[in-house]
Amino acid sequence: MNTTTTVIEAQQLTKNYVLGKNNELPVLKAVDLKIERGEFVSVMGASGSGKSTLLYNVCGMDRMTSGSVLFNGVDLSRLPEPALARIRLTNMGFIFQQIHLLKNLSIFDNIVLSGYLCGNRTRREVERRAAELMEQTGITEIAGNDITQASGGQLQRVGICRALINTPDIIFGDEPTGALNSKASGEIMDLLGGVHREGTTVMLVTHDVKVASRTERVLFMMDGRIVAEKRLGPWSEDGNGPAHKAREAELAQWLIELGF
Amino acid sequence: MIADRKGSAHAEGGTTMMAILFRILRRDATRNRIVNLVILALVGMSAFLLASGGALIVQLATSLDALFERAMVPHLVQMHAGELDRTRVETWAAGQPLVDEYQIVEMVSVDGSHLVLGEWPTTEDHGVMDISFVAQNERFDFLLDGDNRPMLPAPGEIGVPLYYREARNLAVGDRVRIDTGSFSREFRIAEFVRDAMMNPSIIHSKRFLVNPLDYAALRSNLPDTEYLIEFRLTDASRSGELATAYTEAGLPDRGPSVDHRIFRVFNALTDGMVAAVVVVLSLLLMLIAVLCLRFTIVSTIEEDYRQIGVMKAIGMGRRTIQRVYLIKYVALGGVAALGGYLASLAAGPALTANITAFLGSAEPPLLLRTVPMIAALIVCAMVVGSAVLVLRRVHRISAVEALRSGAVDGRLRRIGVLPLRTGRRAGVNLVLGVRDVTQRPRLYALVVGIFALCAAIILVPFHFHSTMNDPSLIAYMGIGRSDIRIDLRQTDLVGRRFDEMVATVAGDPQIARSSPLVTARFTLVGDDGTRESIAIETGDFSLFPLEFVMGEAPRGEYQIALSVLKASDLDRGLGDSLMLLVDGEERTTTVSGIYQDVTNGGRTAKAPLPVDDESVLWYSLIADVQPGVDVAHKTTEYSRLFHPARVTDLNGYIEETLGQTITQLAGVVAAAIGIGLVVAILITALFLKMVLIKDTARIAIMKSVGFSLQHIRLQYQSIALALLLIGVVAGTVLSNTLGERAVGLLWSFMGAAQIRFVIRPLHAYLLLPLLLAAAVGVTTLFSVSRIRNTSIATTIVE
Ligand SMILES: Nc1ncnc2c1ncn2[C@@H]1O[C@H](COP(=O)(O)OP(=O)(O)OP(=O)(O)O)[C@@H](O)[C@H]1O
Ligand SMILES: [Mg+2]
């Protein structure tokens, strides 16, 4: 595993979408962002403010227009597509609003596939890790199921297992709880909290104050820029209901002040 | 240490990936059973046909080579009827450096009316064949037995040409009787002989083989003899040169001269046509299979658009993603090719039965025996290759775009609200159907295209067969279309006999019209002054017109018409001039027309020129009877009256010369109809399956709005049948245009470059389309029965 302390460092990250000749839409405007190893970050902001675009650019999925992104010290803007894919496969994990599994594979096979492709572990090790992850996320019973035989909350857990199979440096989530009810959403955040506590860096995009309040650092985007950020400190696990409510309220207040 | 572990993990990655791909395959096989089975069947049939076509061609070439080698076919044959000065020919031949070996074969001509074969109820009077008896040759041009060895009949035994085994239903042990009234003799059939030169039914001379002692007896009792002056050359490709030298030397030439290329073409004709049709069918099927494949892959990619995007997003390489989708087509192609190949092995003996019977069962060399396997592999490669090509679209899918393309699954958003409250129910069904046509043009275009191909697969062989069976075919064979044709070979005094015959026929009240035609030898003067002999049919060609490819019949003494092959030999086109020696004087004629001919080796000419008795080769008379007169009856009467002239009922002519080809073609037509129907059924099943999957939600909504199950089913059935209707119309047009051209290519081997299809409208435009409609209709019944009581709730959960 990498030992540098900064996982992601974006400098003057700019992204324009080309709409036509001489017609470009600036979506990210010279964003600077640093995420240290082990951080638990969430990104909030109005719809269209550029949250997803930021995420896609810092993970090397999309090509930035200018600026740079260092991942573990490596400049992603200089790498060709296969190398970027390799990094995403090996060092990053992804959770999306809908996880889109391969429909011709069982749930277990969907999880181990990335592990096999990565090739850093033997088949045995990959399978053992998959079993562990499923145990932790509580989906062991549905391992052999078809992907149609699982609930939305269960599928999102499968997504987390798939994202973690190669023990990545960082997990990206673009509204991972967006399609879930608040109970299921809370359970997913419990899991991600656990992942974070074990040392994995996590970066989430979310609309949900409740979700964001469980992270330790909230970034607020507006019109293609990070205009504010708030540090919330560690989340205490021990069921402190009133404290959690207070934390959520504090964040909500901050957001209202920013005009969210 | 760590590096080591990585290495072993990588090495293992390949097999692990294969295991995953295999599991993908297994789930897909059960999930998309119908689609997979349809593609499997199409590819399998295509592989079967291509492998079979390959096997046919290989066997044909091998058997033909073996036969020609064993029989030692002459490279050039000059036929001659009448007196022959042997020593002149022999002295000339001995002096030709090009001649390797030569021989003069004497044959005893037997009149058909004197010959009875086995239990056949009539004499060979009506037969179109020139029948002669021969003894086995000593040096070359052997008549072979079943094992391709020169046959040597014992006294009293006879070797009968294979042609008669089928045509007259003969068996070894049957009797053959010659009875002229004054002389009679009976033979026992000991073998059916392969005659490399005269095997094909289209060559209307047949040789019966007897013991030299019997031959001598026949020779002294039967007056008519004919000669084959045969040459084997040191260089077979220069037979044309020798033929010219022969005529220039003024040697006996009362009869056509034929070279070995013609024997090969005619021997290969029937099976070559069958093989060609089989190969064309397999290619059409392959085209259909590839079209379906393309469509299913494209729609799979569309359906899995976001799934593919996610795979890319999480870092799976393009090649991995492609392999996930490709594996299925590799498996399908492999299984289908293997199945098709094995089926072709099983069907092989039946398919090559005709070849092995007529040409012998020579074992192809090892290299050629792999041809069917290679053909099957090619089909497999086509399938995988086109899948790879289509799967390149995966490259174009961008992860980011796929992830952005909306949270809700695409197909649920596509359901439109149906603004259909007015009209009666039947009308509504129709409106819905029509609406649908505008909504999914690609799928519909594909299905229409394939239905059109199905119709063509059925119609083209059918038209081909009808054409071969039609009396008008005669016009394409170099013979003016008429009811009766009388041929009289040149012997002494024949000229006067012919004049009497012409007068008799002209005076017969039962004859509507008649026209004498005299074929004579002329000399052609080349551009460089070289002289070449040419047989020209003379007479009035306006009475019984031929079909001309270009131009028209020659009028007046300065015009000439050439057969397609002759024109290409001489390098002359319409309007070009040709210098002839007529009555010792040079005369420039103009080419007025080009026609197709299969008689006399396909190289002939026709011109209304004056003829002197000396140069006549043979006389013919063609005639039409008055309406209501029985042609067969008239034929019998004339053959008695004009003995020994050969009188032919021209409808019988086709039957005798092309009968076997037509029978074999009938088999191909039946197979083609079967294939066309099967493909239509498969495609209907595939199409409805796809549409029904895509329409699950739409059907649920229609039901919730109050449409009955029956109405919905009727809708889908009417769509399928409407598409079929369009497809059949397109297929019919396709058959009558492109199909006609393609078949013309087959005909060109026979010397007929262009042929108009004879179309039997009742079958082609009604019965066969109805058959297709019935097949498609029944399939839709089964397919739409899948539309059950799916509720809107289950759809949305999905
Ligand atoms: N391919 C594209 N071409 C042009 N414009 C685009 C494209 N993709 C995104 N945009 C625009 O970029 C802007 C930022 O989009 P982005 O998806 O990053 O917003 P977001 O903050 O994630 O919004 P949401 O909360 O709705 O997900 C939007 O205005 C969007 O319309
Ligand atoms: Mg977004």
Does residue B23 belong to the interface with chain A, where contact is any CB pair within 8 Å?
A: yes
What is the rounded radius of gyration, in angstroms, for the C-alpha atoms of chain A?
Answer: 18
Does residue A14 belong to the interface with chain B, where contact is any CB pair within 8 Å?
A: no
Any ligand 1 atom below 6 A from CB of A18? no
Assess whether the previous peptide bond of A234 is cis (omega < 30° from 0): no
Q: What are phi and psi of B706, to 5 degrees?
A: 120, 10
Q: Nearest Cβ partner of B20 from A56, A113, A146?
A: A113
Beta-carbon separation of A117 and B311 below 8 A: no
Averaged pLDDT, B77-87? 87
Min CA distance, A117 vs chain B (Å)?
A: 7
The whole-angstrom separation of Cα B77 and Cα B232 is 9
- pLDDT of A119 reads 83
Size of interface A-B (CB pairs under 8 A): 99
Beta-carbon separation of A97 and B798 below 8 A: no
CA of A168 to the centre of ligand 1 (A): 27
Any ligand 1 atom below 6 A from CB of A24? no
Beta-carbon separation of B20 and A99 below 8 A: no
Six-digit token string for A145: 């199921």
Q: Nearest Cβ partner of B27 from A89, A97, A105?
A: A105
Min CA distance, B315 vs chain A (Å)?
A: 4
Does residue A18 belong to the interface with chain B, where contact is any CB pair within 8 Å?
A: no
Q: Nearest Cβ partner of A62 from B17, B20, B400?
A: B400
The yes-or-no verdict on residue B752 having pLDDT over 60 is no
Six-digit token string for A151: 């609930």
Does residue A199 belong to the interface with chain B, where contact is any CB pair within 8 Å?
A: no
Averaged pLDDT, B341-363? 89
Min CA distance, B321 vs chain A (Å)?
A: 10
Decide which of B249 and A67 is more confident: A67
Q: pLDDT tier at B329 (50, 70, 90 boundaries)? A: very high
The whole-angstrom separation of Cα B35 and Cα B41 is 10
The whole-angstrom separation of Cα B427 and Cα B432 is 9
Residue-wise pLDDT for B445-488, tens only, equals 889 999 999 999 999 889 888 888 877 776 666 777 788 888 88
Residue-wise pLDDT for B579-631, tens only, equals 998 888 889 999 999 887 767 767 789 999 888 877 888 888 999 999 988 88
The yes-or-no verdict on residue B7 having pLDDT over 60 is no
Does residue B9 belong to the interface with chain A, where contact is any CB pair within 8 Å?
A: yes
Averaged pLDDT, B716-731? 90
For residues A114 and B314, is the Cβ–Cβ distance under 8 A?
yes
Nearest Cα neighbor of B116 from B190, B175, B173, B181 is B175
- pLDDT of B372 reads 93
Q: pLDDT tier at B796 (50, 70, 90 boundaries)? A: very low
For residues B460 and B742, is the Cβ–Cβ distance under 8 A?
yes
Domain spans in chain A, listed from the N-terminal domain onward: 6-257
Q: pLDDT tier at B790 (50, 70, 90 boundaries)? A: low
- pLDDT of B413 reads 32
Q: Closest ligand 1 atom to the C-alpha of A221?
A: 21
- pLDDT of B754 reads 64
Predicted TM-score (pTM) of this structure? 0.81
Question: How far apart, in Å, are the Cα atoms of B720 and each of B143, B535, B687, B726, B778?
Answer: 58, 59, 8, 10, 11
Any ligand 1 atom below 6 A from CB of A206? no
Does residue A62 belong to the interface with chain B, where contact is any CB pair within 8 Å?
A: yes
Six-digit token string for A84: 């970027």
For residues B709 and B789, is the Cβ–Cβ distance under 8 A?
yes
Six-digit token string for A98: 């809908």
DSSP 8-state assignment for residue B548: E
The yes-or-no verdict on residue B3 having pLDDT over 80 is no
Q: Nearest Cβ partner of B407 from A92, A163, A179?
A: A179
- pLDDT of B14 reads 65
Ligand lying nearest the CA atom of residue A63 = 1
Domain spans in chain B, listed from the N-terminal domain onward: 1-30, 32-72+263-411, 83-253, 417-474+655-798, 490-643
Q: pLDDT tier at B415 (50, 70, 90 boundaries)? A: very low
Averaged pLDDT, B38-43? 92
Residue-wise pLDDT for B197-220, tens only, equals 888 877 778 999 999 999 999 999
- For residue A124, give the chain B residue with the closest CA: B9
Any ligand 1 atom below 6 A from CB of A17? yes
Q: pLDDT tier at B789 (50, 70, 90 boundaries)? A: low
Min CA distance, A16 vs chain B (Å)?
A: 14
Residue-wise pLDDT for A147-206, tens only, equals 888 888 899 999 999 999 999 999 999 999 888 888 888 888 989 999 999 899 999 999
The whole-angstrom separation of Cα B522 and Cα A37 is 104
- pLDDT of B141 reads 94
- pLDDT of A239 reads 63
For residues A33 and A9, is the Cβ–Cβ distance under 8 A?
yes
From the options 3.40.50.970, 3.30.450.40, 3.40.50.300, 3.30.750.24, give the CATH code of A6-257: 3.40.50.300
Min CA distance, A237 vs chain B (Å)?
A: 30
- pLDDT of B641 reads 86
Q: Which residues, in sequence order, are CB contacts of B40 under 8 Å at separation 6+?
A: B332, B335, B336
Any ligand 1 atom below 6 A from CB of A50? yes
Residue minimizing CA distance to atom 28 of ligand 1: A48
Six-digit token string for B788: 């059950």
- Chain B residue numbers with beta carbons less than 8 Å from the beta carbon of A92 are 315
ipTM for the predicted complex comes to 0.91
- pLDDT of B702 reads 81
What are the pLDDT tens digits along chain A (260 aa)? Answer: 556 689 999 999 999 998 888 888 999 999 999 999 999 999 999 999 999 999 999 999 999 999 999 999 999 999 999 999 999 999 999 998 888 888 889 999 999 999 998 888 888 999 999 999 999 889 999 998 888 888 888 999 999 999 999 999 999 999 998 888 888 888 889 899 999 998 999 999 999 999 999 999 999 999 999 999 999 888 877 666 788 888 889 999 999 988 87
Q: CA dihedral defined by B348, B354, B358, B361, rounded to 10 degrees? A: 10
CA of A17 to the centre of ligand 1 (A): 9
Residue-wise pLDDT for B367-401, tens only, equals 888 999 999 999 999 999 999 999 998 888 888 88
Question: Tokens 């089964």, residue?
Answer: B782
Ligand lying nearest the CA atom of residue A51 = 1
Beta-carbon separation of B314 and A89 below 8 A: yes
Beta-carbon separation of B24 and A122 below 8 A: no
- pLDDT of B416 reads 32
Percent of all residues in chain B with a pLDDT value above 90, rounded to a whole number: 35
- Chain A residue numbers with beta carbons less than 8 Å from the beta carbon of B4 are none
Q: Closest ligand 1 atom to the C-alpha of A224?
A: 14
Q: Which residues of B421-439 are buried (b: 16+ CB within 10 A; e: fewer)?
A: eeeeeeebbbbbbeebeee
- pLDDT of A52 reads 93
Tell me the pLDDT of chain B averaged across its residues: 84
DSSP 8-state assignment for residue B362: P
Q: Closest ligand 1 atom to the C-alpha of A49?
A: 21
Q: pLDDT tier at B750 (50, 70, 90 boundaries)? A: low
- Chain B residue numbers with beta carbons less than 8 Å from the beta carbon of A61 are 313, 399-400
Which region among B221-235, B319-333, B497-511, B610-624 has the lowest average model confidence (pLDDT)? B610-624
Q: pLDDT tier at B419 (50, 70, 90 boundaries)? A: very low
Pocket probe for ligand 1: among A52, A58, A175, the residue whose CB has the most ligand atoms within 8 Å is A52
Any ligand 1 atom below 6 A from CB of A47? yes
Burial class of A193 by CB neighbour count within 10 A (0 to 12, 13 to 18, 19+): middle
The whole-angstrom separation of Cα A7 and Cα A34 is 8
